[in-house]
Structure 1
Amino acid sequence: MESEGTEVMRKRMKRAVVEKDTMLGEGGVVEIVEEETETNPVVYEQMELRINDILEKIDRLTQLVSELLESGKLLLKELSNEFEERMILIHKEQMEKWQEEIKELKLLDASNEEVNSLLHNARCLLQNVHNDS
């Protein structure tokens, strides 16, 4: 089918070169004359319709790809923003947990220091009592 379309196009574009003598008798003048050939206009029209159909398909696909790219970019941007917000929230929550843990450790340390001081005082009293007896 493709070769038929090519052949029809060739027939439409075929030209004949005719050499004419001039009245002066020197050399010839070259004149290009289009040769009339019988072509099948129905085949040509069908080929044109198929070509136009393919071109329309190309346009629709191009439009679809463009729309998909734009929606993909938008979706990725939204996902990126959501990811960033979620990561910031996770970071903030973890930092608060660790700060609370640090606060509890400081309270525990202060309590241990207090108990240690009381124990030290108790030892000193016991040693003094033990030394006095």
Structure 2
Amino acid sequence: MEIGTNEASKKRMKPNVEEKEEDQVSNGTGMEITVKEQSEANIVGSEEMELNISHIHEKIERFTQLVSELLEYGKSMFREMSNDFEERLITIHKEQMEKWQEEIKELRLTDASNEEASALLNNARFLLQNPLFES
């Protein structure tokens, strides 16, 4: 019978234990609400703290504005540099092309002159090998 009494006691104790845990949880929730209310009160805080916070917000806004301006300035500077670089590179390319075109022109003139000289030399060789004029 003692075993039955012990089991009955244990069964009866479980709801009591659970009730105690529920009471503790609800007390914890009550404490949480109090802590939240206190932190909200702390968030509102003093005028001096609010003033300091507003100064920090102003600093954030000024810094954000500065970063934005620097980004825009950097973008425009890179665009200008890119345009200058492109123009300079195109100028260098044109100058090099003109230089090589001039070299090609000189080579053609030299080749034409060499062909002319070669033709004269061939004619002279032919005349020297086949004398038509005998004195």
TM-score, length basis structure 2: 0.65
Cα distance in 2, alignment partners of residues 77 and 63 from structure 1: 21
Q: Does structure 1 residue 102 correspond to structure 2 residue 104?
A: yes
Aligned to 1:11: 38
Residues in 1 aligned to 2:52 and 2:90: alpha-carbon distance in whole angstroms: 56
Corresponding residue of 1:82: 84
Alignment of 1:27-66 (within 5 A): 44-66=46-68
CA positional deviation for 1:13? 4.0
Residue identity (%):
64
Give the drift of 1:10: 4.8
Separation in 2, partners of 1:110, 1:12 = 98
Task: Give the letter aligned to residue 53 of structure 2.
Answer: I
How far off its partner does 1:91 sit?
0.8
Q: CA RMSD in A?
A: 2.8
CA distance in 2, matches of 1:48, 1:118: 104
Distance 2:128 2:52 in 1: 110
User: In structure 2, what is the Cα distance between the partners aligned to 1:126 and 1:80?
Assistant: 68
- In structure 2, the residue matched to 1:69 is 71
Give, in whole Å, the separation in 2 of the partners of 1:86 and 1:50: 53
How many residue pairs match? The answer is 99
Counterpart residue type for residue 11 of structure 1: Q
Which of structures 1 and 2 has the bigger CA Rg? 2
Shift of 1:11: 3.1
Q: Distance in 2 between matches of 1:116 and 1:73?
A: 63
Displacement of 1:12 after TM fit?
A: 6.9
In terms of fraction of residues, the more helix-rich structure is: 2
Alpha-carbon separation, structure 1, partners of 2:39 and 2:78:
53
Q: What residue identity is the alignment partner of 1:124? A: F
3-state SS of paired residue (1:63): helix
Quick one: which amino acid aligns to residue 88 of structure 1?
I
Q: Structure 2: state its 5+ residue gaps.
A: 1-35
**Larger strand proportion, structure 1 or 2?**
1
